[in-house]
Amino acid sequence: MGTGKRGLIATAVTVIGAVTVLAAPGAAFAAPSPTPTPSPTASASATVSGTAVTNKDIEAVRLKLDALYHDAAVATDAYNAAEEKAEQQSAQIVELAKKIVQGQEKLRKLKARAGAAAAAQYRGYGLSDEAQLMLSDNPQEFLDGTGRVLQGQRATKALITELSRTQQDLRQYADDASAQWTKLEAGRKAKAAAKKRIEQQISAAEKLESQLEEQEKKRLAELEEQAAYKAQTAWLDSGVLKEINGSASTAGKRAVEYATTQIGKPYEWGAEGPKSYDCSGLTSQAWASAGDPIPRTSQEQWKQLKHIDVKDMRPGDLIIYFDDASHVAMYIGDGAIVHAPRPGRTVTIAGAGSMPILGVVRPDA
């Protein structure tokens, strides 16, 4: 590691780079504010421990942190998807188990009925029909009995068919349960792998940030705000906001109210509230509270919900960010969003254009 502060940061960036591939900036951040006025400590360079640390160094750290947190967000989506599938598969296994129990009880009763029918046939109808007719004191009674025998034979045939069908159903239920269990185990492994990757990325980011002195952390925060402000300004300068004038639906208003009430609560990957949230945990819970359940992850929200043009969006709609749909926020009007940005941040309001927009979806289309 370098002897000076600049060398320390450069080495930290290199070390962290070994555990992640540098990608385009991908972590959400606090709401943009007017470009901060550079302070003496935020000038092009400063001297720390006798070594100059430039804004270029801090910007490199910011980009690396963005990449780490973006990768953690992708892994969080994978974790949440595995969690959701595990819940569904567990519920299916429970239902199949109930069907198996019910099927076994039905099979037991059918076997008992079949045994009773076989015993009755053995007791009453061991002789041939001709012999029974000759020995009968009442031929009409015999004929009536013969009719009942035919009915009994048809009932027995139906009973055997039902027995066979029930046995087939039980085998199918068992096969389905086994298949669901296999999927559940695979999902658990995927979930564990995603969890490990999340923890690695967040740990790497925290380690990188820990290399910074307080004034450098302040400069890092300023650079984050500047990047967000620049992106938001470019988005607004496109004139898009002039075209956006949709009014929130009744459900949308409820969703916005829920989401904005969570402002200030910490980001936590995999969390769905009420004390903390990740990005899709916030949006999914907001819409669940509005009476319109939606998929748990940002990627599934992008896949399953109706896509609309940005110019047509209204408060309550969800904006999906980055090419891999790894982040989601709720539009609240006036060019602003509410979202859970990333680890170390809280639910906050930001500019809708402060991150690369993939598209917009409407939960209550």
Q: Given the residues 5, 327, 342, 362, select the one marked as catalytic.
A: 327
Which residues lie closer than 8 Å to 178 by C-beta, 6 or more apart? none
> b/e for 185-201, b at 16 or more Cβ within 10 A?
eebeebbeebbebbebb
User: CA-based diameter of the chain, in Å?
Assistant: 125
Burial 32-52 (b: 16+ CB within 10 A, else e): beeeeeeeeebeeebebeebe
What is the CB neighbour count within 10 angstroms for residue 141? 10
User: Which of 328, 320, 351 shows the shortest CA–CA distance to 279?
Assistant: 328
How far is Cα 85 from Cα 43, in angstroms, rounded to an integer? 50
Cα 95 to Cα 9: distance, rounded to the nearest angstrom:
55
Contact 36, 222 (CB under 8 A): yes
pLDDT tens per residue across span 23-43: 233 333 234 444 444 443 333
Q: Which of 204, 179, 232 is nearest to 352 (CA)?
A: 232
How wide is the angle at C-alpha 345 spanned by C-alphas 199 and 78, nearest 5°? 40
Tokens standing for residue 182: 């296999």
Q: Indicate if 307 belongs to the active site.
A: no
pLDDT at 192: 82
195 flagged as catalytic? no
Q: Residue 96: is it exposed, middle or buried by C-beta count within 10 angstroms (0-12/13-18/19+)?
A: buried
* Measured distance CA(281)–CA(341) in Å, rounded: 12
Does the model's pTM come out above 0.75? no
Closest CA to 231 of 56, 31, 5: 31
Told to judge if 327 belongs to the known catalytic residues of this protein, a careful annotator would answer yes
> How many other CB atoms sit within 10 Å of the CB of residue 236?
15
Q: Which one of 8, 279, 319, 350 is the catalytic residue?
A: 279
pLDDT in tens, 43-85: 334 434 445 567 787 888 888 888 888 888 888 888 888 888 7
Which of 6, 64, 296, 339 is an active site residue? 339
Go through the chain and tell me how many residues it has.
Answer: 365
Taking the C-alpha atoms of residue 292 and residue 251, their distance in angstroms, rounded to an integer, is: 8
**Considering the chain, what percentage of its residues have pLDDT values greater than 70?**
72
Q: How far is CA 101 from the centre of its chain?
A: 32
Mean pLDDT of the chain: 76
pLDDT tens-digit readout, 227-272: 999 999 999 999 888 888 888 999 999 999 999 999 999 999 889 9
Contacts of 127 (CB under 8 A, 6+ apart): 135
- Over 70: is that where the pLDDT of 171 sits? yes
Q: Which of 250, 238, 260, 251 is nearest to 310 (CA)?
A: 238
Query: Poorest-confidence range of 102-111, 307-316, 344-353?
Result: 102-111
What would the pLDDT profile of 219-228 be if each residue is shown by its tens digit?
Answer: 888 888 899 9
Predicted confidence (pLDDT) per residue in 124-156, tens digit: 554 444 444 444 555 555 455 545 555 555 656
